[in-house]
């Protein structure tokens, strides 16, 4: 049995949704949209202090574009989290702590972040970089593309499926390689990992916690992989 829940990495609603699923669904296995480096960083009680040497090594491993994207993404997520009084990754940390408390096995189903960012660094095109730059400039002058698409953003809540579909459609059209590397390919990897778990533990109740926007496609792909294997 499988249940997939889509969360926001900074919303309080996601924390409540996860707690509710642990109480009502009573999972026996937890899957997280994380890899080992991100899981260790999330669960660590020590604040990581990076040196210039660490940053140079990251640029070498990830590529400059991948490193820059990671840096900007982390900064934005932290700023958004502080605006609603949460820490980035509060959804995953809540799920992990509940699994530990209930002595459940935790499986990390996402691709290694270094691989994802290296692919991103190699695949992002000049046009996508230009579009990204223009979108930032527009936002500085108060132009909100999501408002133009009639999408209401409430950081305390998980976006609706309808709004997520609009956002993903926009990203896929304007940033096709970004969409391919950061969403489509990772969905395939996570779905394959979940399908393998279901085959190995057919009688176990599995709860997968993934970012909102991933869950529907992962559910479809998981079903596809299970059917093709049978």
Highest mean pLDDT among 6-15, 47-56, 58-67: 6-15
State the alpha helices, DSSP H only, in the chain: 12-24, 36-43, 52-62, 64-84, 90-101, 113-123, 126-140, 145-148, 161-174, 176-179, 185-200, 215-229
**pLDDT exceeds 80 at position 67:** no
- Going by their DSSP bridges, the two strands 2-7 and 106-108 should be labelled as unpaired
**24 burial via Cβ count (<10 Å: 0-12, 13-18, 19+):** exposed
Confidence of residue 58 (pLDDT cuts 50, 70, 90): low
What's the average model confidence in pLDDT over 138-145? 60
Most confident option among 53-67, 123-137, 187-201: 187-201
Residue 105 has a pLDDT of 97
Q: Are 187 and 214 in contact (CB under 8 A)?
A: yes
Angle at 216 between CA 212 and CA 222, to 5 degrees: 120
Torsion-angle region of 19 (φ positive above 0: left; ψ -120 to 50: alpha; else: beta): alpha
- pLDDT of 53 reads 63
CA–CA dist 183, 214 (Å, integer):
7
Question: How much is the pLDDT for 190?
Answer: 96
Region label for 85, one of left (φ > 0), alpha (ψ between -120 and 50) or beta (otherwise): left
Is the whole-model pTM more than 0.85? no
How confident is the model at residue 135, as a pLDDT? 74
pLDDT of residue 80: 52
- 194 with 206: CB under 8 angstroms? yes
pLDDT in tens, 97-134: 999 999 999 999 999 988 888 888 888 888 887 877 77
Q: Flag whether pLDDT at 66 surpasses 90.
A: no
Span 24-47, pLDDT tens digits: 999 999 999 999 988 998 888 776
CA dist 230 and 225 (Å) reads 9
């Amino acid at each position: 049995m499988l249940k997939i829940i889509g969360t926001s990495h900074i919303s309080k609603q996601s924390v409540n949704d996860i707690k509710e699923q642990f109480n009502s669904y009573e999972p026996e296995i937890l899957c997280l949209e994380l890899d080992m480096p991100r899981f260790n960083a999330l669960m660590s009680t020590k604040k990581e202090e990076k040196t210039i040497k660490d940053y140079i090594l990251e640029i070498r491993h990830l590529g400059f574009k991948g490193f820059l994207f990671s840096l900007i993404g982390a900064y934005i997520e932290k700023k958004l989290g502080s605006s609603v009084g949460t820490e980035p990754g509060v959804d995953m940390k809540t799920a992990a702590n509940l699994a530990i408390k209930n002595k459940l096995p935790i499986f990390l189903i996402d691709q290694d972040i270094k691989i994802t960012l290296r692919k991103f660094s190699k695949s992002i095109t000049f046009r996508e970089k230009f579009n990204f730059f223009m979108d930032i400039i527009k936002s500085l002058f108060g132009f909100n593309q999501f408002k133009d698409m009639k999408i209401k953003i409430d950081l305390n809540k998980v976006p609706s499926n309808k709004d997520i579909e609009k956002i993903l459609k926009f990203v896929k059209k304007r940033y096709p390689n970004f969409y391919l590397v950061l969403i489509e390919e990772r969905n395939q990897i996570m779905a394959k990992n979940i399908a393998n778990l279901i085959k190995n533990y057919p009688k176990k109740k599995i709860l997968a916690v993934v970012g909102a926007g991933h869950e529907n496609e992962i559910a479809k792909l998981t079903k596809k992989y299970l059917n093709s294997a049978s």
